């Protein structure tokens, strides 16, 4: 059996294989000629079942990572709603909208429904897209690589007729599939833009509190302080989510308790009637009194749930149950009380200025500096929430081949979703510092910020509706009710936010367009490359059939010894095989161009598996293609925290493993061939693929392909260097694709 890979789908076509097991050779011929489902792919395992103690620990951690953003919204929400001193009725109306937005959008929609739509524990827009891809054929996966990350559609034979019809319509419509992919990309790009805006907005919002005690401080000084803090935030990201979360959790906990206490004190001291805002009547009164202006002012109230997407996007760092516990029993009541207290303070204020800085106005003067320090620290944590969310969704985007392949560092062996992407971190830092220097205050920045938040929420509502129909198999009427209810809320907020494009929301549009362009260039180029490789693969198979007719052999690999024109080399050649099946193009080019035939050939396929560590005896699987001599296939399985074994030269380690298995099984003749060839010469063969556009293609196509080629050259990892292959023994064959 193939350990830990009962579902690895080895697309070996008509090739029969002999498997060398963990430490013993198992001569069980596994025929895959007429079976497409011999093995499924579970290299991406289901999320582990967590103990109650671990869930509570993660709930504590999540306080320090997930809620920093939404917990600091009381710093600037009311000041973004009003432009002059509000009446008591206006304050009650705004407070009622805030209360019900936190209840319906955050608690009901996200915490109850959206968190349940995770993809093997991962959250975010692309997680919804990935989940849908498992139940409907809406994604485009690489058909030229074995073990395609488990994205084949799950069997759903019990789905009812209406839902099945909708799924079939989506699967058969290329336009709808591209539209769903585009929506996912837009949602992701908005979250990444949010990852740049959140640190700037929250830190500047906290530092602006200095105006209360130090009125003479200049904008330049406040901006400079903010930028220093922002740079420090990004510099500590490499420590990982666990260390940062454990460090930040007490800060957010104290901050939320501070908001709770200040809220209670304000209600007791100023106006306890603010609890009337729990009645939806005040929302009706708000719109009845303000009309169109009330709708326009929604762009300010939506800032109360900024960071809501972080609750979902950061899910891979934690667990749904832990996030629900920390929100429902701690963060939610504290934030509600903060807004109620601020409203009471604004209503009771006789100077008419409390609405400009409601949080600091509700803090007793003697506690100002403590509250200011805690606000700054909480703003730092708020930045952390969206930064970690960006790392998670970029990792998902790379898995779905929608983003260039950047280096991903897993910072925890226990929690596989905790990742750090160095390049993304520094780019986010540059963007955030530039934003802080460009906007300098929270008014215009809040316009851009709110657009990010609500655009992502609207995309999530659409994708969630599809999840309820295709994955959860709800009655179509319930799914439509979900779409209409939450879509109406999101649509009202989004239409209001888009009115602020000239006042700052333009920045969100620009960032989203730039990021979407990069993603679509990568996606377009990747699909064109897959099509090219598919056609090339069909051509090679046709050539294989011609060889079968001429020589009676069933495999191109088996033709090595029958080709009289080749030069025999007494050597072991390790051929890196990116696909994991068929004969690699580098080896076929070697044979056709140079007529070289090594004595022993080892086709090595390196597979990264999304678990922390693969057991030692399950990291190397060895196959021997039937009908061949001295030809072997090896699959190296590496978890994200596993380090390559560099105690011996890579090729020697592989050939020694094969020799040991042959010796244990008594295959002395083959053992002598391997031993003799290894002692004589050891070489490595790989290929470098360069991409360029066809000269006669459309100019836009050529431009996109050339940009894709540039991204590919500057982001793809060097597999051979990572495994420690000696450069002097490595032969690289250049292959050019004209797309």
The CATH number linked to 183 is: 1.20.1740.10
CA–CA distance, 627 with 629 (Å, rounded to integer)? 7
Are 557 and 667 in contact by the 8 Å Cβ rule? The answer is no
Q: Is the dihedral of CA 18, 21, 23, 26 positive or negative?
A: negative
Of 632, 622, 621, nearest in space to 670 by CA? 632
Same domain, 734 and 683: yes
Query: What stretches in the chain show pLDDT beneath 70?
Result: 1-49, 143-158, 241-246, 385, 412-417, 441-444, 540-541, 543-565, 581, 610-612, 716-722
Looking at residue 19, its pLDDT comes to 36
pLDDT per residue as tens digits for the range 52-103: 888 888 888 888 778 878 888 898 899 889 988 999 999 999 999 999 999 9
Q: Token pair of 417, please?
A: 């979703």
In three-state form (DSSP H/G/I as H, E/B as E, the rest C), the secondary structure along 187-216 is HHHHHHHHHHHHHHHHHHHHHCCHHHHCCC
Same domain, 297 and 430: yes
Looking at residue 416, its pLDDT comes to 59
Q: How many domains does the chain have?
A: 2
Looking at residue 14, its pLDDT comes to 27
Same domain, 206 and 325: yes
Q: Return the C-alpha torsion angle 509, 512, 518, 520, nearest 10.
A: -100
Helical H runs in 214-240? 219-235
Range of the domain at 38: 17-42+553-738
Same domain, 61 and 29: no
Same domain, 478 and 569: no
- Looking at the domain assignment, is residue 559 inside a domain? yes
Helix, strand, coil tally for the chain in percent (to 5) = 65, 10, 25
Same domain, 324 and 472: yes
- Looking at the domain assignment, is residue 242 inside a domain? yes
Last residue of a domain, one of 512, 537, 564: 512
Half-sphere exposure of 584 (CA within 13 A, CB side): 28
- Phi/psi at 582 (5° precision): 60, -175
Kindly give the pairing relationship between strand 730-738 and strand 682-692: parallel
Same domain, 304 and 202: yes
- Looking at the domain assignment, is residue 248 inside a domain? yes
CA–CA distance, 610 with 20 (Å, rounded to integer)? 24
Other C-beta atoms closer than 10 Å to the C-beta of 645 total 15
Are 652 and 679 in contact by the 8 Å Cβ rule? The answer is no
CA–CA distance, 719 with 737 (Å, rounded to integer)? 20
Same domain, 251 and 377: yes
Burial class of 491 by CB neighbour count within 10 A (0 to 12, 13 to 18, 19+): middle
224 Cβ contact partners less than 8 Å away, ≥ 6 residues apart: none
- Phi/psi at 153 (5° precision): -65, 135
Same domain, 170 and 103: yes
- Looking at the domain assignment, is residue 548 inside a domain? no
- Looking at the domain assignment, is residue 192 inside a domain? yes
CA–CA distance, 589 with 733 (Å, rounded to integer)? 8
- Looking at the domain assignment, is residue 607 inside a domain? yes
pTM for this structure?
0.78
Buried b (16+ CB within 10 A) or exposed e, 65-83: bbbbbbbbbbbbbbbbbbe
Same domain, 75 and 179: yes
Angstrom CA distances, 336 to 105, 248, 274, 341, stand at: 14, 21, 11, 9
pLDDT per residue as tens digits for the range 594-605: 778 899 999 998
For tokens 């010469």, name the residue.
Answer: 681
Q: Token pair of 585, please?
A: 């193009």
CA–CA distance, 363 with 236 (Å, rounded to integer)? 31
Last residue of a domain, one of 456, 486, 512: 512
Last residue of a domain, one of 512, 528, 562: 512
How many residues comprise the chain? Answer: 739
Edge-to-edge strand list for the sheet holding 631-639: 25-30, 17-20, 620-625, 631-639, 596-609, 567-576, 682-692, 730-738
For tokens 């180029």, name the residue.
Answer: 525
- Looking at the domain assignment, is residue 543 inside a domain? no
CA–CA distance, 493 with 450 (Å, rounded to integer)? 9
Same domain, 570 and 507: no
Looking at residue 442, its pLDDT comes to 67
Kindly give the pairing relationship between strand 596-609 and strand 631-639: parallel
- Looking at the domain assignment, is residue 534 inside a domain? no
Q: Token pair of 691, please?
A: 């991409």
Same domain, 695 and 560: yes
Looking at residue 583, its pLDDT comes to 77
Q: Token pair of 455, please?
A: 């655009």
87 Cβ contact partners less than 8 Å away, ≥ 6 residues apart: none
Burial class of 506 by CB neighbour count within 10 A (0 to 12, 13 to 18, 19+): middle
Strand partners of residue 624: 18
């Amino acid at each position: 059996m193939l350990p830990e890979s009962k579902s690895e789908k080895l697309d070996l076509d008509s090739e029969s294989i002999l498997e060398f097991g963990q430490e013993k050779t198992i001569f069980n011929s596994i025929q895959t000629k007429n079976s497409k489902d011999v093995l499924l792919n579970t290299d991406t395992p289901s999320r582990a079942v967590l103990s109650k103690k671990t869930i509570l620990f993660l709930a504590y951690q999540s306080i320090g990572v997930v809620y920093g953003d939404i917990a600091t919204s009381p710093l600037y929400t009311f000041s973004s709603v009003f432009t002059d001193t509000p009446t008591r009725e206006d304050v009650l109306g705004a407070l009622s909208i805030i209360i019900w937005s936190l209840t319906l959008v955050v608690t009901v929609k996200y915490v109850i429904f959206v968190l349940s739509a995770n993809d093997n524990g991962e959250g975010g827009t692309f997680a919804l897209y990935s989940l849908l891809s498992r139940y409907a054929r809406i994604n485009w996966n690489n058909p030229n690589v074995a073990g395609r990350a488990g994205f084949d559609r799950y069997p759903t034979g019990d789905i009812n007729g209406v839902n099945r019809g909708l799924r079939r319509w989506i699967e058969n419509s290329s336009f709808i599939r591209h539209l769903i992919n585009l929506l996912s990309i837009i949602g992701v790009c908005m979250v990444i833009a949010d990852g740049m805006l959140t640190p700037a907005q929250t830190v500047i919002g906290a530092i602006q509190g200095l105006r209360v005690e130090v009125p003479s401080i200049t904008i330049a000084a406040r901006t400079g302080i903010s930028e220093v803090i922002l740079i420090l935030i990004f510099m500590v990201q490499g420590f990982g989510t666990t260390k940062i979360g454990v460090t930040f959790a007490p800060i957010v906990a104290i901050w939320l308790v501070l908001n709770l206490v200040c809220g209670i004190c304000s209600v007791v001291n100023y106006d306890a009637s603010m609890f009337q805002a729990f009645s939806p009547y005040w929302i009706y009164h708000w719109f009845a009194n303000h009309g169109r202006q009330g709708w326009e002012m929604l762009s300010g109230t939506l800032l109360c749930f900024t960071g809501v997407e972080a609750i979902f996007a950061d899910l891979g760092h934690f667990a749904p149950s832990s996030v629900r516990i920390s929100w429902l029993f701690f963060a939610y009541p504290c934030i509600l009380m903060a807004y109620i207290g601020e409203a009471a303070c604004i209503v009771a204020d006789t100077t008419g200025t409390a609405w400009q800085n409601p949080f600091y106005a509700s803090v007793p003067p003697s506690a100002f500096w403590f509250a200011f320090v805690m606000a700054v620290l909480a703003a730092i944590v708020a930045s952390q929430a969206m930064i970690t969310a960006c790392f998670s969704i970029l990792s998902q985007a790379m898995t779905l081949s929608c983003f260039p392949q950047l280096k991903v560092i897993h910072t925890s062996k226990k929690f596989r979703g905790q990742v750090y992407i160095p390049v993304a971190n520094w780019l986010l830092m540059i963007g955030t510092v530039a934003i802080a220097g460009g906007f300098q205050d929270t008014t215009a920045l809040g316009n851009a910020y709110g657009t990010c938040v609500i655009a992502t929420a609207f995309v999530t509502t659409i994708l969630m509706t599809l999840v309820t129909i295709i994955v959860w198999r709800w009655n179509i009427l319930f799914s439509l009710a979900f779409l209409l209810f939450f879509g109406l809320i999101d649509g009202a907020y989004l239409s209001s936010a888009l009115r602020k494009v000239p006042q700052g929301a333009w920045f969100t549009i620009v960032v989203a367009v730039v990021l979407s362009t990069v993603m679509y260039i990568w996606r377009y180029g990747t699909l064109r490359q897959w099509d090219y490789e598919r056609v090339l693969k069909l051509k090679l198979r046709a050539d294989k059939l011609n060889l079968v007719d001429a020589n009676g052999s069933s495999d191109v690999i088996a033709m090595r010894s029958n080709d009289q024109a080749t030069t025999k080399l007494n050597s072991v050649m390790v051929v890196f095989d990116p696909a994991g099946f068929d004969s690699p193009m580098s080896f076929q080019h070697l044979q056709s161009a140079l007529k070289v035939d090594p004595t022993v050939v080892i086709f090595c396929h390196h597979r990264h598996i999304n678990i922390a560590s693969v057991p030692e005896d399950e990291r190397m699987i060895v196959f021997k293609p039937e009908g061949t001599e001295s030809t072997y296939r090896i699959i190296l399985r590496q978890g994200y925290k596993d380090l390559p074994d560099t105690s011996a030269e890579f090729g020697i380690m592989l050939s020694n493993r094969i020799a040991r298995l042959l010796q244990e099984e008594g295959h002395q003749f083959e053992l002598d061939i391997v031993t003799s060839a290894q002692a004589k010469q050891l070489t490595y063969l790989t290929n470098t693929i360069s991409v360029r556009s066809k000269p006669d293609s459309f100019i836009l196509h050529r431009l996109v392909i050339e940009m894709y080629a540039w991204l590919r050259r500057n982001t793809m990892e060097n597999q051979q260097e990572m495994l420690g292959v000696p450069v002097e023994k490595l032969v690289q064959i250049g292959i050019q694709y004209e797309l």
